[in-house]
Amino acid sequence: IDELLAEGVKGKRVFVRADLNVPLAEGTITDDGRIRAVQPTIEKLAEAGARVVVASHLGRPQGAPDPAFSLAPAAARLGELLGADVAFATDTVGSSAKETVAALTDGQVAVIENLRFNAGETSKDDAERGAFADQLAELADVYVGDGFGAVHRKHASVFDLPARLPHAVGQLIATEVGVLKKLTDEVKRPYVVVLGGAKVSDKLAVIDELLGKADRLLIGGGMAYTFLYAKGYEVGISLLQKDQVDKVKEYMRRAEETGVELVLPVDVLASTDFPDLKTKAPAVFETVDADKIPADKEGLDIGPKTRELYASKIADAATVFWNGPVGVFEHPDYAGGTRAIAQALVDSSAFTVVGGGDSAAAVRTLGFDENAFGHISTGGGASLEYLEGKTLPGLAALEG
């Protein structure tokens, strides 16, 4: 973006592809981290006199307008953060967008409505995506890619649009990629990875890659129960992906062969009921050893012995990457494990990276200071796919 600023952007319409996909609860933003992360890029462009057109997806609407997924709350929050009036177009490439962009003066910012209200954005058909990218291209003179959380998506605004306009890499993407390089090309050891989250199927590719890279892999969250089952334990009614058991067994064997320490929970908090995340009514649970989960109960957080074990495995690390909560942290009774992991990262002198929308939101909602971590990534799937060594369409497009 510095090069672009040096060339001069005054009076130019600059399209910023951001990732404003923030969590909302009844129309209220519960974590604005992703908006704050892209703010410096928008500010720099506006200060340089650009007419800034900010675009993003939010959630997964089905290719048509859906008020539940409007970007209006995100636009309002961006205005508060910038301390400026941010115009909002109620469509993406229609008359509202065209009029809103035409009315911008130098240094002003507008947000257009959710890109995914248009089927062309996510279409698998190149021509359909291209046609939508053509419409988006009419709104701008220059493209800045800064939606790191979406760079793994081959979508019109991420992949096709930069090919149609002069383009530059935004400050957020530059920072995120710089950090991820420290986890790949230049990693300092011991390198410890904590993986949580609900589904092991989402993490298979990254585990595959990490078995050759990490020194220790600590497993938590819903995905841990497929590992425990693969080890031969009964897991009651815990989340279990039976179709992944063979794969997980193979990974456990490979970890042994390659000398990667694969660490599983030794105790869990188990309950007959999934907690009520709305009322947050006190949960009824017991702490049991990981090989003694009762048949009628499901594990919902890692237990105290596991918290201590994982903290000790993190303590002497030089690099830590953490993706995915290790329990149902949205409920206070099951937030202890995730809190303990976050605390272990804060206490260690390692370079620590938190990746993934959920874990990033967790550290903030649990009250941790963002600055206590080396880096909190705005990308969930994007950072995982980067670590898997995949080519990310949104990054490739910016290089072209």
Residue 299 in marked binding region: yes
Query: SS3 for 239?
Result: coil
Q: CA–CA separation, 372 vs 257, rounded Å?
A: 35
Among the candidate windows 2-10, 149-157, 164-172, 303-311, which touches ligand 3PG by CB under 6 A? 149-157
CB atoms within 10 A of CB 6: 9
Residue 19 in marked binding region: yes
Contact track, ligand 3PG, 310-349, x by CB under 6 A: ----------------------------------------
247 included as an active-site residue: no
Considering the rule CB under 6 A, would residue 387 count as an interface residue with ligand 3PG? no
178 included as an active-site residue: no
Q: Which is nearer to ligand 3PG, 60 or 253 (CB)?
A: 60
- Nearest approach, Cβ of residue 131 and ligand 3PG (Å): 21
Task: Say which of 12, 17, 34, 364 is annotated catalytic.
Answer: 34
Residue 60 in marked binding region: yes
Q: CA–CA separation, 180 vs 209, rounded Å?
A: 14
Q: In 252-267, which positions are buried (b, 16+ CB within 10 angstroms) versus exposed (e)?
A: eeebeeeebebbbbbb
199 included as an active-site residue: yes
Joined tokens for residue 74:
């995100």
Write the DSSP assignment of 352-383 as a string of letters: EEEESHHHHHHHHHTT--GGGSSEE-S-SHHH
Q: Which of 236, 299, 381, 393 binds ligand 3PG (CB under 6 A)?
A: 381
Q: Which amino acid is located at 371 in the chain?
A: N
Report how far apart, in Å, the C-alpha atoms of 306 and of each of 229, 326, 394 are.
Answer: 17, 11, 38
Considering the rule CB under 6 A, would residue 21 count as an interface residue with ligand 3PG? yes
Total chain residues near ligand 3PG (CB under 6 A): 9
Q: Which amino acid is located at 334 in the chain?
A: Y
Q: Which of 380, 385, 392, 394 binds ligand 3PG (CB under 6 A)?
A: 380
Q: Which is nearer to ligand 3PG, 275 or 357 (CB)?
A: 357
| Helix locations, the chain, DSSP H | 2-7, 33-47, 72-82, 95-102, 119-122, 126-137, 171-184, 204-210, 224-230, 245-258, 304-315, 336-347, 357-365, 381-387, 393-399
Q: Which is nearer to ligand 3PG, 21 or 92 (CB)?
A: 21
Considering the rule CB under 6 A, would residue 153 count as an interface residue with ligand 3PG? yes
- Nearest approach, Cβ of residue 113 and ligand 3PG (Å): 16
34 included as an active-site residue: yes
Q: Token pair 């064997």 is at which residue?
A: 253
Q: Which of 150, 214, 230, 240 binds ligand 3PG (CB under 6 A)?
A: 150
Residues found near ligand 3PG in the complex (CB under 6 A)? 19, 21, 60, 149-150, 153, 357, 380-381
What residues are labeled active site?
34, 199, 357, 381
Would you list which residues are annotated within the binding site for substrate?
19-21, 34, 57-60, 116, 153
